[in-house]
Amino acid sequence: MLEKKVSRGAAFGDYDNDGDIDIFLNNSNQTANLLRNDGGNKNHWLMIKTVGTKSNRDGIGARIKVVSGTLLQVKEVRSGSSYLSQNDLRVLFGLGNRTKVDLIELRWPSGITEKFFDVKANQLLIITETQGVTFRRG
């Protein structure tokens, strides 16, 4: 159903923890909309949440390198989005048909660098600075 609304902000993140990005729209003087991506796909993914101990609590500014075979991706934990919105602080890496990650290299804002090897795909990892993987689901 088509709804006419005046949108002012959008936040992107994995609302239902299934490895695809969903969108939350803030509308002016109207109810918000969640555009949940239920189409899905067969691709693999890895999601990382950073928890700083020496760095800031959310690990904002952490630089994460993920290597899977010949695929190399680098992303940073970033805050912000558009007007009155905040994107998911977790970082999602698409892996295509790859079922594991060979290397995660995480450089914290404090300057500490940590490495993790042979991580299976399709899971959420919470990595706590200097304490390693403190939670995994998937």
Taking the complex as a whole, how short is the minimal distance between the CB of residue 4 and Ca ion, in angstroms? 25
- Rule CB under 5 A: say whether 22 interacts with Ca ion: yes
C-beta closer to Ca ion: residue 44 or 109: 44
Question: 10, 12, 18, 43: which one contacts Ca ion (CB under 5 A)?
Answer: 18
Q: How far is the CB of 101 from Ca ion (least distance, A)?
A: 19
Which part of the chain contacts Ca ion (CB under 5 A), choosing from 17-25, 47-55, 72-80, 95-103?
Answer: 17-25
Closest by alpha carbon to 43, among 92, 97, 91, 122?
A: 97
The Cα–Cα gap between 51 and 12 comes to 20
Residue 20 touches Ca ion, criterion: CB under 5 A:
yes
Under 8 Å CB-to-CB from 99, ≥6 apart: which residues? 44, 120, 121
Look up residue 48 and give its amino acid.
I
Contact 22, 34 (CB under 8 A): yes
Determine contact, residues 83/11, Cβ cutoff 8 Å.
no
Size of the residue set binding Ca ion (CB under 5 A): 5
Contact positions toward Ca ion, by CB under 5 A?
A: 14, 16, 18, 20, 22
